[in-house]
Structure 1
Amino acid sequence: MTAPPSIVDGQLPHGRWVCTEEEAKAAYVNGKPGDREAIWAEWQQITGVLRAVVGEIAACWLSGSFFTDKPDPSDIDCLYIVDSDRLVQAAQADARHAWLLQTVAASQVKNAFGVRVDSYVLEWKPTPGCEVLEGTRGYLQQRGYWDNLWCRVRDADARLDAIPRRGYLEVQLDGYK
């Protein structure tokens, strides 16, 4: 892994930047203005609760105004990448776990817990090789959707809105196993 990039022209440079949680915190939280430390702590809290339910979170893609030069971002956007089997097992084990998973996946943690986190879940389907196998098409489409979405910058010009122009972080949590 390399150190996360600096903010350039107000945002992360284009691409998916892989780092650790500690590297992300050092680069974008520690000593920064506004409520970044409090928002980061809320993200860590939600991450800890989700990890307690599913056991492991492979990684989390982070994006949004938190990773810009905006002096006081309102929240942090995250996509938890969790092994599909772990999600199914957790949801079947306990109705409260199923509710939590749905709440995190549908970006409802702001309302449910009063935190400044927009969260989603991507069910990771481990797939050998590059073939699209039975049951993996949805995962691959969703992964592409999120990558495409988080590389864009909103713009009134539809052409500019469609061009990848910013980056996001992939924070390795428990790793892909």
Structure 2
Amino acid sequence: MPPLPPFASDTQCPPPGRYPMTWEEVEYSLVRAAAWKASSTRPGLWVELQSHRALVECLFGSVTRIWLAGSFVSGKLDPSDIDLAYLIDADAYRGVTEPDEIADLANLSDREWCVKHGMRIDAYLLSLPATVDFRDLGTVGAMAAGDSEVFQMLGLYDEIWQRCRAGHRQRRGYVEVAL
């Protein structure tokens, strides 16, 4: 996969868009690269992300993709946290039904809970659509039940991850990690 493009000078973030990277490429590009040698937070954040991901995978069985954004995916030397969204297979997402598992997932997507437990993570859990065949999307009644809302949430988070705090006119890119 191509590396993350250079950060834009006005936002210190990747140019607008979604950039596919492997887990190993993210670690190298955003934690281990020479530009981050003096960072006091990036290595620790990476360890915390690995722990958080393991906990989420324990509950779902696996994670399909992760969207990474915010200051971790920027030129900021010492980001304070990692903003991310886990994209979960629809069957796995719907398969979490036990009250204890639901409570665990609520905790893992609660920033305050994560910080209290030593993880500077701001995580969101999103279902992927159950409709697998793209041709079914335009056929009335062929889309899986609930997929309309799933697509809306994915679009919402795509928009959120591409926004800069400075305002809606400035856009930034984010990283998609396929697992």
Same fold (TM over 0.5): yes
Moved more, 127-136 or 73-82: 127-136
TM-score, normalising length from structure 2? 0.84
Alpha-carbon contact 1:64-1:77 (below 8 Å) kept:
yes
Counterparts of 1:30-109 in structure 2 under 5 Å?
A: 30-31=32-33, 32=36, 33-92=39-98, 95-109=99-113
Alignment correspondent of 1:152: 163
2:14 to 5, 8, 12: 12
Deviation per CA, 1:6-61, whole angstroms, max 9, x where unpaired?
32321111100011100011111015122101001101100011112211100000
Report the Cα distance in structure 1 between the residues aligned to 2:72 and 2:46, rounded to whole angstroms.
9
Deviation per CA, 1:57-106, whole angstroms, max 9, x where unpaired?
000000011111112110000100001321232333xx332211122234
- Structure 1 residue runs of 5 or longer lacking an equivalent are 156-160
SS of the aligned residue for 2:171 comes to coil
RMSD: 1.9
One-letter code aligned to 1:26: Y
Runs of 4+ in 1 over 3 A off after TM superposition: 105-109
Report the Cα distance in structure 2 between the residues aligned to 1:108 and 1:120, rounded to whole angstroms.
13
2:122 to 118, 121, 124: 118
SS of the aligned residue for 2:32 comes to coil
Report the Cα distance in structure 2 between the residues aligned to 1:72 and 1:7, rounded to whole angstroms.
16
SS of the aligned residue for 2:164 comes to coil
Moved more, 59-68 or 122-131: 122-131
Alpha-carbon contact 2:19-2:173 (below 8 Å) kept:
yes
TM-score, normalising length from structure 1? 0.85
Report the Cα distance in structure 1 between the residues aligned to 2:169 and 2:64, rounded to whole angstroms.
28
Q: Among the aligned pairs, what percent are the same residue?
A: 31
